[in-house]
Amino acid sequence: MPLHVPDYIRALVPYVPGKPIEETQREFKIRRVIKLASNENPLGSSPKARAAVRGNLGELHRYPDASAHHLKQELARHLRKTPVEIIVGNGSNEIIDMLIRTYCLAGDSIVTSKAAFICYRICAQIHGVSTIEAPLDENLHADLSEMARLARDNTRVKMVFIANPNNPTGTYNTTEEFGSFLKDVARIRNGSVMVVLDYAYWEYVTAKDLPDPMELLGEFPNVVVLRTFSKVHGLAGLRAGYGVARPEIISTVEKIRQPFNMNALALAAAAAALGDKAFVQKSVKINNIGMKFWEKNLGRMAIPYWKSQGNFLLIDVSRGLGKCGSEAYLSCLKRGVIFRPVANYGLAHALRVSIGTPEENRLAVKALEAEIPLAVRATASSPQAAD
């Protein structure tokens, strides 16, 4: 008898990660490869976190602390919350998965926007949950009121997922937009729709009108905030993330959490990284410098881009280079620079660039510039941004 696979698993298109450096070196026989493809921290990871990993190497034969006591204590202190309002995960991706498993039945739906972080859709589909996407305007700005309307009109919608700022677009929604959106959603079916706010890039945000997630949490009981150690703390390889919500939500999701979902080294490193303010500051600073460098050079090369609140930026290679994203990606790959193609987000005309060190940024700009066809160079008008 043939093994049965549900249709939604058969139809699943798995997550495509950024291309690894080693694979690129092997395939193209180039030694120097720059990876600006996965929004990783170009400075490496917090020295305090690395010391904590070394300090825990003698205990690898022990199971990790299933309650994540120490990390939750540190997070509670850091966030001015209590440990019962916090859940930890093997990356915040695991928490996305746990939330959908906890609150959705197969056949239910989630709402998000087009070009939203793709893990929401993938995690939903794994559980037979479908995704309804609100359209974006031409500035790739998400329409919160349309998302509220979709959640209201489709009775099987259980959750709304919003990344603020969003990856890969870098765009964000304001405090004002969230104010009316969260009030609208709270009124749907007696407050039974959850709003998940993914703040993976919060530390990098410079816009003054992007809302503080902890303030929104206090005001709206159906909100869950996700944060990660993968970006500003530089711990993407260890897998550590967390969610913050009311104790009733946390204790419900805790029921389905695998007891040892975070490994011992990740637990130790994450707790130490929280206390490494100097590393966070340094990371934010190098990102600000890099972002300015990229904006200036994209302007100079007349490559349109969308202004970003993250440690990455989306560029319009179709207008800037006369190439589609996958073409531009491949030609830069051959020059030893890994960017991220985003056609799977419906953005075939764009490429996502992570902000690197000054040296990486300089070399990556050079690779891009070499790809500008002479014809496009000749017609390039004055510097312009897409937004």
Site residues for ligand PLP per CB under 6 A = 39, 91-93, 117, 163, 167, 198, 200, 228, 230-231, 236, 241
Alpha-carbon distance of 156 to 193, in angstroms, equals 10
Q: Find the shortest distance in angstroms from Cβ 55 to ligand PLP.
A: 23
Q: Find the shortest distance in angstroms from Cβ 152 to ligand PLP.
A: 25
Alpha-carbon distance of 78 to 271, in angstroms, equals 10
Structure tokens at 179: 């104010």
Q: Find the shortest distance in angstroms from Cβ 311 to ligand PLP.
A: 9
Beta bridge partners of 197: 162, 225
Alpha-carbon distance of 362 to 78, in angstroms, equals 36
Nearer to ligand PLP, 81 or 340 (CB): 340
Cα angle vertex 250, ends 160, 237, to 5°? 80
Alpha-carbon distance of 8 to 201, in angstroms, equals 31
Q: Find the shortest distance in angstroms from Cβ 229 to ligand PLP.
A: 7
Alpha-carbon distance of 133 to 149, in angstroms, equals 11
Nearer to ligand PLP, 225 or 365 (CB): 225
Structure tokens at 104: 């959705």
When computed from its CA atoms, the radius of gyration of the chain, rounded to whole angstroms, is 21
Q: Find the shortest distance in angstroms from Cβ 142 to ligand PLP.
A: 12
| Alpha-carbon distances of 283 from 136, 213, 275, 311, rounded to whole Å | 30, 21, 14, 10
Q: Find the shortest distance in angstroms from Cβ 157 to ligand PLP.
A: 20
Q: Which of 247, 231, 6 is nearest to 129 (CA)?
A: 6
Q: Find the shortest distance in angstroms from Cβ 117 to ligand PLP.
A: 4
Nearer to ligand PLP, 121 or 323 (CB): 121
Nearer to ligand PLP, 329 or 345 (CB): 345
Nearer to ligand PLP, 75 or 321 (CB): 75
Q: Find the shortest distance in angstroms from Cβ 242 to ligand PLP.
A: 9
Nearer to ligand PLP, 91 or 325 (CB): 91
Q: Find the shortest distance in angstroms from Cβ 93 to ligand PLP.
A: 3
SS3 label, residue 35: strand
Please report the beta strands in 40-166, taking only residues with DSSP state E, as ranges in sequence order.
86-89, 109-113, 130-134, 157-163
Which residue sits closest to ligand PLP, CB atoms considered? 91
211: which DSSP letter?
P
Nearer to ligand PLP, 117 or 339 (CB): 117
Q: Which of 109, 207, 106, 121 is nearest to 164 (CA)?
A: 207
Nearer to ligand PLP, 39 or 113 (CB): 39
Cis peptide before 168 (omega within 30 of 0): yes
Q: Find the shortest distance in angstroms from Cβ 102 to ligand PLP.
A: 17
SS3 label, residue 321: coil
Alpha-carbon distance of 74 to 9, in angstroms, equals 38
> Is 259 in contact with 232 (CB distance < 8 Å)?
no
> Is 89 in contact with 95 (CB distance < 8 Å)?
yes
Nearer to ligand PLP, 302 or 313 (CB): 313
Cis peptide before 165 (omega within 30 of 0): yes
Nearer to ligand PLP, 161 or 220 (CB): 161
